Amino acid sequence: MMEEIFTTTGVMTMMELRYNPITDEWIIISSETQKRPVLPKKEACPLCPGVLEMKHDYDLTAFDNRYPSLKLDPPEVQRDDFYENAPSYGKCEVIMFTSDHNSSLSRMPFGQIEKLIYVWEDRTRDLMKHEKIKYIFPFENRGKEVGASQIHPHGQLYAFPFIPKRIQAKIDAISKYRSKGRCAICDIINHEKGESIVYDGENFIALVPYFARFPYEVHIYPRRHISFFTEMTSREKFDLAIALKIVTSKYDSLFDQEFPYMMEIFQGPVNPQMSDFHFHIEFNPPKRDKVNIKWMASVETGTWAFINPLTPSEAAKSLRNASYSI
C-alpha cells in the first residue's frame, strides 16, 4: 500500500471504488487535486508538534489523512452502464506513534508502544460503529524502500467498506482449515517449538513462518484465539508491545541499519464481526540482505506466487541471534 501522506497528485479529480469482475476484487481509484502543503521551512517535519498537522504538542494522535482514498462522506459516483462502481466510503487515518521525531518502534520505550496499542484498540472500537465499515486495517510502512516519505514514526489505518481480496483469502483459508475442527494459527503455535521462533513470550509468539513469502518475514500471533484489539486484556496489550519492540529492534540489529518493513495488522472483519479470525501481525520486509531488495516483480504481482530466496529457518536463526533492546 503506497504512502499517501502529502504526496502530490495528478490533475484529475476521481474518487470511487471500481469492481474488477475478472478477479472479483474492489479497486480504490483516488486522485486528488490539492496542492502540496507549504511547510514553514524546508526541513520542517509536518508531523512534529506545532508544524502542520498537529497544532500543538501531543503524545499520540490519530487524524484523517489530508488526501484520503476513503471518506465517510465520499463524493457521489457516476454510474456506469457496464461496470460496477461505488462511492469511496470508509476512512483513512494517520496514526502518530510519538511526538519524538527520531524515534521508531525499535527505539521507543515499550510503554509508548503499549499506548499505541490502546490507540489502535480505540480506533477499532470507534470505526466499527460505522455499519458500512467491513474491515479495519492498521499498518506501518517504514523506510523509503516501501514508500514512506516521512521518517517521523507513524502508521496508517484504512477502514474499508468491503473485505479486501487477501483478507477474503485468509477467511476462506480459515473456513477450509475449520474442516479439521481447528484453527490454523492455533495449530501453528502448538506445533512450532524452536527453529522458526524469534521471540517466545507468555501471550505472544513471533516467528518466521514455514511458508514465509519475504526473506525476513515475521508473524506475531497471540496465544489466545482472539480476533480484535478490543478483546485483548491489559496484560496481552503489554505483551504485544514487548513482542513488537523486540522484533523491530532485532530487525534494526540484523544489518545495523534502520530496517524497512511493511507491518500489517490483521483483525477479524466487522459488521458483522467474525470471531473465528485469529488476530495476527505480519512484518513483510523488502530486504533480502544488507544491500539488496526483494522486489514484488511480475511473478509476485501477477500471480501472487512468491519466490523466497532465503530459507525461513535460516532467517529465524539470524533474527533469533540478533541483539535487541527492550
The catalytic residues are 154
Region binding other proteins by CB under 8 A among candidate stretches 11-19, 56-64, 205-213, 298-306 = 56-64
**Closest distance between other proteins and the C-beta of residue 264, in Å?**
22
115 binds other proteins per the rule CB under 8 A: yes
Q: Which three cell numbers stand for residue 304?
A: 501472487
Whether 156 contacts 94, CB under 8 Å: yes
All 3 cell numbers of residue 277? 479470525
CA 103 remoteness from chain centre: 18
Asked if 314 touches other proteins (CB under 8 A), the answer is no
- Going by C-alpha positions, the residue among 268, 185, 262 that lies closest to residue 217 is 262
Between 203 and 284, name the residue whose CB sits nearer to other proteins.
203
Are 94 and 63 a contacting pair, CB within 8 Å? Answer: yes
The set of cell numbers assigned to 255 is 544489518
Q: Cβ closer to other proteins: 123 or 170?
A: 123
Instruction: Copy the grid coordinates of residue 290.
Output: 544488507
Exactly one of 78, 179, 234, 298 binds other proteins (CB under 8 A); which one? 234
Rounded to the nearest 10 degrees, the angle between the axes of helix 234-254 and helix 110-127 is 120
Q: Which residues pair with 264 in a beta bridge?
A: 139, 282
Determine which residue in the list 5, 70, 242, 316 makes contact with other proteins, applying CB under 8 A.
Answer: 242
64 binds other proteins (CB under 8 A): yes
Nearer to other proteins, 25 or 126 (CB): 126
Binding of other proteins by 112 (CB under 8 A): yes
- CB distance 61 to 54 below 8 Å: yes
User: Is position 143 an interface residue for other proteins (rule: CB under 8 A)?
Assistant: no
Report helix angle 165-178 to 184-191, nearest 10. Answer: 70
230: cell is 478490543
Minimum CB distance to other proteins smaller for 17 or for 95? 95
**What is the dihedral sign for C-alpha 269, 273, 274, 280?**
positive
Nearer to other proteins, 135 or 199 (CB): 199
Part in contact with other proteins (CB under 8 A); list of ranges 55-63, 145-153, 170-178, 267-275: 55-63
**String marking each residue 166-205 x if it binds other proteins according to CB under 8 A:** -----------------------------------xx---
Q: Which three cell numbers stand for residue 94?
A: 494517520
Neighbours of 83 (CB within 10 A): 10
Is the Cβ of residue 27 or residue 39 nearer to other proteins in the bound state? Answer: 39
Q: How far is the CB of 4 from other proteins (least distance, A)?
A: 14
Residue 85: helix, strand or coil by DSSP?
A: strand
Considering only the stretches 117-125, 143-151, 188-196, 282-290, report the one whose residues sit in contact with other proteins under the rule CB under 8 A.
Answer: 117-125
Footprint of other proteins on this chain (CB under 8 A)?
A: 49, 53-55, 57-64, 66, 99-100, 102, 107, 109-112, 114-115, 118-119, 122-123, 201-202, 233-235, 237-239, 242, 249, 253, 256, 323-326
